């Protein structure tokens, strides 16, 4: 990919260390981004430098290059009252509001009898990210 590239179309598969596919668009519409506009993880965009149309590259990002380490301060204990019973399951994703009415997403991390521990970390925080990327198009 040249520094003057404006729009780049890629297909990719993102897997985790255990081989689980976390995301893919292979066989679907390519992901299109503006090169140099911070629309991708910076380390991913940097690792794709020099790729041309139809080039493929395997790229591994550390947690620090991806979505960061797991932040222990991003776990909050809350009372179960007010949370629908069907949402009180480990792994359930909830949309919650803070005191200023800002919406945030959190995953139920742990359940106690009258408390839930919510995890506000990005779901991919603390994980190595393995990308298989193929450049589909580059529009100058």
Q: For residue range 50-73, list pLDDT tens digits in order.
A: 899 999 999 999 999 999 999 999
- CATH (residue range 72-119): 2.40.10.330
Q: Which CATH number fits domain 7-64+124-139: 3.40.50.2000, 3.40.1260.10, 3.40.50.300, 3.10.50.40?
A: 3.10.50.40
State the pLDDT at residue 18. 97
Q: Is the pLDDT of residue 4 over 60?
A: no
Query: CB of 135 within 8 A of CB of 53?
Result: yes
What is the value of pTM for the model shown? Answer: 0.83
Q: How far is CA 10 from CA 21, 62, 64, 119, 130, in A?
A: 17, 21, 23, 31, 15
């Amino acid at each position: 990919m040249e520094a003057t590239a404006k729009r780049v179309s890629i297909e990719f598969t993102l897997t985790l260390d255990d081989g689980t596919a976390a995301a893919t668009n292979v066989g679907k519409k390519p992901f299109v981004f503006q090169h140099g506009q911070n629309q991708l993880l910076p380390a991913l965009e940097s690792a794709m430098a020099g790729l041309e149309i139809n080039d493929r590259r395997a790229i591994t990002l550390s947690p620090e290059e991806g979505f960061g380490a797991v932040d222990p301060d991003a776990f909050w204990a809350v009372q179960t009252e007010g949370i629908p019973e069907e949402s009180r399951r480990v792994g359930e994703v909830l949309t919650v509001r803070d005191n200023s009415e800002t919406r945030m997403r959190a995953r139920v991390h742990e359940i106690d009898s009258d408390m839930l521990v919510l995890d506000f970390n990005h779901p991919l925080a603390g994980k190595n990210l393995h990308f298989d990327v193929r450049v589909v198009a580059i529009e100058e």
